[in-house]
Every structure is written in C-alpha cells, then in structure tokens.
Amino acid sequence: MKKILFAIFAHPDDESFGPSGTLLMEAQAGTEIHLILLTSGDSGTNPDNHADLSAVRLKEWQAAGELMGAHAMHYLGYKDGQMNNHSMIEIVERVTDLITPIVEIAPVDAKIEFITNDLNGITGHIDHIVAARAACQAFYQMKKDDERFQRIRLCCLSRQEAPYVNVDWLYMEAGRTLEEINETVDARQLRDEIIAIIRTHHTQRHDGEYCIRKHGEQLGINHFIVKT
C-alpha cells in the first residue's frame, strides 16, 4: 500500500532538529515524503555574514531533504517571524492547492498522513504555531472528502525533556505528559544520519550543536500527539 507523508514546517531546520529520525525511518520504509516549508528562515542567525541568508538556508534545507530521502520539497516563500491569522488562512489554501494534484493521482487505497509541530509551537514561536494550525486545518478540510487521510502527527517535547515553563526567550510551555503523548518513535539507530542532517544547517550550527548535546544518547526519540 502506498503511503504519502506531508511534513509541514515554518523554518528550514524545523524538521531536521525535530522529527528527522521519524522522517528517515518513513523514507526507508518506502513512504513518499513531501517537505513543505513556509519561510526561508531569513531572520535566523547569520554567523558567517552571508549577504543573502535566505538563499543559503534554502540550500541547507535542500541538502537536509536529500539526506532524509524526501521525494519532493515545496517552498511557499513567507517572511520569517511575520506569520499571523491572515497568512494562516492563505497558507491553508496554498497547502491544499499544492497537495490536491498529488493525492488526485495517488492510488485509491493510499494512506495519507501529515507531520507538523505541536500546536503550542514547542518554543512558542508564532511561525511554528501558524504552521501547525494551518496544517491541521488543511488536513481536516481534506479529510472530510477523502477517507485516505489517516492522521496528523504533532511533534512535541515530553515533560522529561522540558519539565518547566521557560520564559528565557518567548513563552515556552512545559513538555507534554505521558498521557498526552500518543506515539513515540525510536530512531536512535540512525543517530549518525540524524547528526549529518542537523549539521547541514551550518548557519544555525549553534542551535544544531545544542540540539545534539541536549538529546545525547536519546537523539532520535520523537514524541507525537496523534490526531485522526
């Protein structure tokens, strides 16, 4: 049975620093993965003083997608850090328009899934929140008329990973409890591949190396809230 997975994220490194282990496992199992990116991450760190950070970060994202085994990659071109209700509604329409011709030619027994971030945005970043909510709205709108849409998985942090509310930057909620988490994927056997994916985002290396250190031997464990 054919499986198609649409991974919808705000910034070029969101899927890499998040559920890259899960995406790798899906690709290795034969899933057709489509990465959908909302912004180029042009407000990210620029330690090398690139004249065009957007172009560099998009190249890094393309390299990460290739390592993940993505079937196709789609960039929507929004401005980093400027998501709002208006853009969320537009994103839903654009994501739906993008996905529709792909699923129209898919087999009638295909299994279609989405992956995005937790509705709380994990770090509290407004772009993460908009990406997650737009993905959910697109998923449920399309599911109404197509039973092949099976589930949407929201990548989240566990309470063990984030035990407390954090206000060092944006308001970041504590991680999810075990009762809230529906699925845990263990991709630790792909640790080397995950690190390689993270390190493609060279401009964001400070955050990438922090991610590797923080997760340590648990790198590759991904938690999800699953909605059907």
**Domain range annotation of the chain:** 3-227
- Per the CB < 8 A criterion, the answer to whether 163 and 172 are in contact is no
**pLDDT reported for residue 127:** 98
130 CA to centre of own chain: 12
**pLDDT reported for residue 19:** 98
- Per the CB < 8 A criterion, the answer to whether 183 and 189 are in contact is no
Q: What share of the chain is helix, strand, coil (3-state, %, to 5)?
A: 40, 25, 35
**pLDDT reported for residue 168:** 93
**pLDDT reported for residue 208:** 98
CA dist 196 → 54, 102, 139, 191 (Å): 21, 29, 31, 9
Place of tokens 């620029």: 46
**pLDDT reported for residue 202:** 98
Query: pLDDT for 128-149, tens place per residue?
Result: 999 999 999 999 999 999 999 9
Structure letter (DSSP) for residue 217: G
Q: For domain 3-227, give its CATH number from 3.40.50.720, 3.40.50.10320, 2.130.10.10, 3.10.20.30.
A: 3.40.50.10320
Residue 139: both structure tokens together? 């998923």
191-199 vs 205-215: helix axis angle to the nearest 10? 160
**pLDDT reported for residue 25:** 98
**pLDDT reported for residue 220:** 98
Dihedral of the alpha carbons of 133, 213, 54, 80, in degrees to the nearest 10: 30
Sites in the chain below the pLDDT cut of 70: none
User: How many Cβ atoms from other residues are within 10 Å of residue 160's Cβ?
Assistant: 12
Dihedral of the alpha carbons of 4, 8, 138, 95, in degrees to the nearest 10: -90
